[in-house]
């Protein structure tokens, strides 16, 4: 009989986790260690920054674990042309998922046209390269109305996911914001929680609120915790 915790199996939890190694001081050894975790636990993806994509892709070759690349990370405050180029480079180097940060200030300012064009440019570049696009809203900096508008613009621009946070802002994912995002996009887009995801109970709470993915640098600890709790 397969062990479960709160009705979920180990594989279901592992396949929700985007294991992430994104700090600015990561070394090649850190990337190798992260890839070993992603491969060992068969996580949903392995998320790294641009300079580390080729190494991650080589380390994960044949594992079935996709490489996820950040774009415009962590502030989103670069031009759409630069973000689109970054997405193109990411897919050329082996990424099959792209997590972009929107122009947060433009969304707050009400410049929906710029935000829409920004997301669309990256969506097109990612899709041409065979990658899914997740759009990071940085929800801690937004009002509820701005979160809804960010989700709507992401959908209009052709994104595949909306995502809460970078993990580098004032706060991370909350159940309130996840429920709001899920209510806005329904089943048309998927939802990813990120920022402060450290426990298996958080992951399950987020899944039950509607997420398909959780970004975390704590994948191994979460999965070991699952094993300690499962019966």
Domain covering 4-229, topology: TIM Barrel (3.20.20)
Q: What is the per-residue pLDDT for 178?
A: 98
Rounded CA separation 178/184 (Å): 10
**Element (H or E) spanning 9, and its range?**
strand 8-9
Q: What is the per-residue pLDDT for 103?
A: 98
pTM, 2 dp: 0.97
Rounded CA separation 65/56 (Å): 10
Locate tokens 């689109």: which residue? 84
Q: Which has the closest alpha carbon to 165: 178, 148, 153?
A: 178
Q: What is the per-residue pLDDT for 1?
A: 75
Q: What is the per-residue pLDDT for 173?
A: 98
Q: What is the per-residue pLDDT for 195?
A: 97
Q: Where in the chain are the domains?
A: 4-229
- Catalytic option among 18, 99, 118, 160: 99
- Catalytic option among 83, 134, 160, 163: 163
Q: Is position 182 annotated as part of the catalytic site?
A: no
- 98 has which bridge partners? 69, 133
**Element (H or E) spanning 126, and its range?**
helix 112-128
- Catalytic option among 83, 134, 182, 192: 192
10-residue mean pLDDT series, the chain (231 residues): 95 98 97 98 98 98 98 98 98 98 98 98 98 98 98 98 97 97 98 98 98 98 98 90
């Amino acid at each position: 009989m397969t062990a479960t915790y709160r009705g979920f199996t180990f594989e279901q939890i592992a396949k929700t986790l985007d294991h992430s190694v994104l700090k600015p001081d990561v070394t090649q050894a850190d990337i190798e260690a992260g890839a070993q975790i992603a491969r060992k636990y068969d996580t949903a993806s392995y998320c790294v920054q641009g300079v580390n994509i080729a190494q991650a892709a080589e380390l994960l070759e044949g594992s079935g674990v996709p490489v996820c690349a950040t774009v415009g990370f962590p502030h989103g405050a670069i031009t759409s042309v630069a973000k689109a180029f970054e997405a193109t480079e990411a897919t050329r180097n082996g990424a099959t998922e792209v997590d972009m940060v929107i122009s947060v200030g433009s969304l707050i300012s009400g410049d929906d046209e710029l935000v829409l064009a920004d997301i669309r440019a990256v969506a097109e570049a990612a899709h041409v390269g065979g990658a899914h696009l997740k759009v990071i809203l940085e929800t801690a900096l937004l009002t509820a109305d701005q979160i809804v508008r960010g989700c709507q613009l992401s959908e209009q621009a052709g994104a595949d996911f909306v995502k809460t946070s970078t993990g580098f802002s004032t706060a991370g994912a909350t159940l309130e914001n996840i429920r709001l995002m899920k209510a806005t996009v329904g089943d048309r887009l998927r939802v990813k929680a990120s920022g402060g995801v450290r426990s298996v109970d958080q992951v399950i709470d987020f899944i039950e609120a509607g997420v398909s993915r959780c970004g975390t640098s704590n994948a191994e600890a979460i999965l070991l915790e699952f094993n300690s709790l499962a019966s």
